[in-house]
Amino acid sequence: MKELKKEESDRLVAWYRLNRRILPFRDTKDPYDVWISEIMLQQTRIEAVVSYFLRFKKELPDVDALAEIDEDRLLRLWEGLGYYSRARNLKKCAQILKEEHGSRIPEDHETLLKLPGIGPYTAGAIMAIGFGRPYPAVDGNVLRVLARDLGITEDIRSDTVRKQLETLVSSFYEKEKIEDKQYISDLTQALMELGALVCIPNGKPLCEDCPLRENCYAYANALTDQIPYRSRNKERKIVERTLLIIRKDDDFLLDKRPAKGLLAGMYEFPGVDQKMTETEIAESLKQEGFDILQIEKLPSSRHIFSHVEWHMDAYEIRIANETIPLKAGQILAGREQLKKLALPSAFRTYIDHYALREGEHL
């Protein structure tokens, strides 16, 4: 395997400075911006993150604001990005930063790694982009670029390959004795940007536009369709669900999910992991004490998580009860309260159906 070379990195940095996208969290010189944006960008396209980042930063401009925000409001700001544990870890981390680090993000790699939600990649990105320190930040884009450039044929999903490339990048910084903070920041972002714009994940890479083409192993050997090798994900489990959207006038019954697991601690429309008929629903709810006025079938929907796929049938159940038989963890929420709660994007079809975010057509 060939090594990284300074002339290649120089070309890459020059390319980046001419072709980089203008992004609200780029070039701010603020490690807080790097931290927040990198957490948002996990499992999420950069185009989708921009508007979320701007809204998040406007309401939570610094560590103190993030540490003090109410969790329901935090999850509402995060709504649509998914993987809500990321948002909870941001708040936990901010609280530690406020209590132990004077509300500042520490310029120390080992300290960063001890904070909630910050792993090797995020710590490296904060150090390299936020502080201009020579630490590797190897994400999926960087893995792909380096695998093609250096001729790595092993599975890029493996920890061994990732650690090998982190070591290689660290060795490059050390060997070349690079101390220019802007250069370090730009090179780190250049590898990511090249993977996003040129050495793309899906489809044919745009090799004619690549500053690394001249010495790229995959390009020279016509192997860009084979490198990188990426083992297949495990097949997602299909879960058939029935949602019971129970309404009393303009109030909706909501369940709070368990504190751990999928969508932990979030509110949702009640549901069961099985298919139910209208007759079965009516009988079940009558046994629970509901006085049913009407049951109406709503559009079915699907939602894909990383390892699970929900196939949902939904029914609106209008009830006449004067007193609602609430179980532990259940609430009856009106329109204004619903606007403040973060309902998981898994229920987007029904949030939009009832215009629970915009409009007035209930």
Pairwise CA distance, residues 73 & 59, whole Å: 10
The residues near 320 (Cβ < 8 Å, ≥ 6 apart) are 248, 291, 292, 293
Count of residues in the chain: 362
Neighbours of 289 (CB within 10 A): 11
Nearest alpha carbon to residue 120 among 38, 184, 48: 38
Pairwise CA distance, residues 93 & 64, whole Å: 11
Q: Which helix (H) or strand (E) holds 48?
A: helix 46-59
Query: Looking at 38, 79, 193, 316, which residue is catalytic?
Result: 38
Q: Are 217 and 223 in contact (CB under 8 A)?
A: yes
Is position 38 annotated as part of the catalytic site?
Answer: yes
Q: Burial-class residue 58 by CB neighbours within 10 Å (0-12, 13-18, 19+).
A: exposed
Backbone angles phi, psi at 93, to 5 degrees: -65, -45
221-10-40 Cα angle (round to 5): 85
Q: Give me the long-range contacts of 329-332 (CB less than 8 A, separation at least 24).
A: 329/255, 329/256, 330/253, 330/254, 330/255, 330/256, 330/270, 331/253, 331/254, 331/256, 331/267, 332/248, 332/251, 332/252, 332/253, 332/254
* Residues recognised as catalytic: 38
